[in-house]
Chain A
Amino acid sequence: MIRVVLPAHLKTLAKVGSEVRLEVGGPVTQRGVLDALEARYPMLCGTIRDRHTGQRRPFVRFYACEEDLSNESPDAPLPDRVVNGEEPFLVIGAMAGG
């Protein structure tokens, strides 16, 4: 079970609590986690990554296990502690203005 933490606005949009738990079929990568997230919560499509290119939105970052994974390949395996459910995959809205 993969744990995902969303930024506040996306929690409100998806009507979820502090953490989402997802079954991810296949390799546990950024792409796999986001595919599963958007399949469960289709209102999140386009809010984290481009709907067509899959590119991360510029003011969104991905962290896990105290590492910034934002610029890792979307197909790179996520850390074992995320795969094991010991640590969440964090979707972060950049702190910038607003």
Chain B
Amino acid sequence: MSGVRVLVGTRKGAFVLTADGTRRDWQVAGPHFGGWEMYHVAGSPADPDRLYASQSSGWFGQLIQRSNDGGKTWEPVDNDFSYEGEAGEHLWYDGTPRPFEFKRIWHLEPSPDDPDLVYAGAEDAAIFRSSDGGRSWQELPALRTHGSAPRWQPGAGGMCLHTIILDPANRERMYVAISAAGAFRTDDGGKTWQPINRGLRSGQLPDEDAEVGHCVHRLAMHPSRPQTLFMQKHWDVMRTDDAGGQWREVSGDLPTDFGFPIAVHAHEPETVYVVPIKSDSEHYPPEGRLRVYRSRTGGTDWEPLTTGLPQADCYVNVLRDAMAVDTLDPCGVYFGTTGGQVYGSADGGDTWAPIVRDLPAVLSVEVQVLP
């Protein structure tokens, strides 16, 4: 029977959770890199034993770790994330110009078919690429030097490039999202980029049709429908069916449309998951009840999933990179909380159980299906 491996990044280390295909009994390994902030741990779809991890701290900066044995052992690889050419400027919170300055890697996106090819999303917003398994990194500078970049501003968590989606049908096409600049697409492997934010409504912007300035929290795509993207924006759950040409709101009957993560069912491209959070000033679930909401209609009509989740006195958050789905049947869904719980569902979200309860605050969750 195949198994699953859940890769968890936390504020104080990384953890690897494993189970067989029933997903009932779990083993917890870690912490790896104890005491370090692990913004993301990701596995290569082409070689499940090849893992990449973003390790950082305010004291000692950014490191990238690589494993070739599924997380049993690790080796540091290159950590030189130098912006190419002039760093340029963006807007600071107060609207004054400020130079781009590298701070950390938020997200790692390995290629679907080459274990040595991996992309990295940085704060301050930039995208890097390695084609040698992380031994060297090169920026794709056309994004950071886009004509709109001097107008980009950070979100509360920093000006981070937190989402990278590789189009499985078109190797030259890639989507990224930056908080709080918006979503961008390249159709030529990163040589040029265009903002894809038409239809987003962000109340703080004087120009409703602003090209950039949108606080996109997360994008998700089903591999069979690469033209369709779902977005959890700061407020609003959105959808596009033309690769970002136009977005429409699908928040529908959600109790609140603020939140961070969004995920698509592995086998049902119209089944979408979000975790509504009360507001941007509170950052916890409405009424102290932790509910995942599922839409089986591609948005607009949502149902709460509560079985096995705390329905009283729960005031955790679920961060943008902290939800993932596996490709088993039924589809497994996983998410981690700022309270250190990792919940899993082996039945597409109908029922949930904690895999582990008391980790440090969870920053990211990824899942791999093992042969």
B58 within 8 A of partner (CB): yes
Mask of B33-60 contacts with A, CB within 8 angstroms, 1/0: 0011000000000000000000001111
Pair A93/B59 contact, Cβ less than 8 Å: yes
CB within 8 Å of B: which A1-40 residues: 7, 9-10, 13
Knowing A9-B57, A93-B59 touch, does A46 contact B80 (C-beta < 8 A)?
yes
Pair B76/A43 contact, Cβ less than 8 Å: yes
A60 within 8 A of partner (CB): yes
Distance, CA A57 to CA B62, complexed state (A) = 12
Distance, CA A59 to CA B79, complexed state (A) = 18
A82 within 8 A of partner (CB): no
B82 within 8 A of partner (CB): yes
A81 within 8 A of partner (CB): no
A90 within 8 A of partner (CB): no
Residues on B with C-beta less than 8 A from A94 are 59
Report the minimum CB–CB distance from A42 to chain B (whole Å).
8
- How many residues of chain B get a CB closer than 8 Å to chain A's CBs? 13
Q: Which secondary structure dominates where chain B touches chain A?
A: loop
Residues on A with C-beta less than 8 A from B57 are 9, 98
Pair A59/B59 contact, Cβ less than 8 Å: yes
A48 within 8 A of partner (CB): yes
Pair B35/A9 contact, Cβ less than 8 Å: yes
B177 within 8 A of partner (CB): no
Task: Select one of B59, B62, B80, B82 contacting A9, CB under 8 A.
Answer: B59
Report the minimum CB–CB distance from B39 to chain A (whole Å).
15
Residues on B with C-beta less than 8 A from A13 are 60, 63, 76
Pair B58/A43 contact, Cβ less than 8 Å: no
Task: Select one of B60, B62, B79, B80 contacting A93, CB under 8 A.
Answer: B60
Pair A60/B60 contact, Cβ less than 8 Å: yes
Distance, CA A10 to CA B76, complexed state (A) = 12
Task: Select one of B59, B79, B82 contacting A57, CB under 8 A.
Answer: B59
Knowing A9-B35, A9-B36, A13-B63 touch, does A46 contact B79 (C-beta < 8 A)?
yes
Residues on A with C-beta less than 8 A from B76 are 13, 43
Pair B63/A48 contact, Cβ less than 8 Å: no
Residues on A with C-beta less than 8 A from B82 are 51-52
Residues on B with C-beta less than 8 A from A96 are 58
Enumerate chain A interface residues (CB-CB to B < 8 A).
7, 9-10, 13, 43, 45-48, 51-52, 57, 59-60, 93-94, 96-98
Beyond A7-B60, A45-B79, A96-B58, 16 extra complex contacts between A and B, CB < 8 Å: A13-B63, A13-B76, A43-B76, A46-B63, A46-B79, A46-B80, A47-B60, A47-B61, A57-B59, A59-B58, A60-B60, A94-B59, A97-B58, A98-B35, A98-B58, A98-B59
6 closest A-B pairs by CB: A47-B60, A43-B76, A59-B59, A93-B59, A46-B79, A46-B61
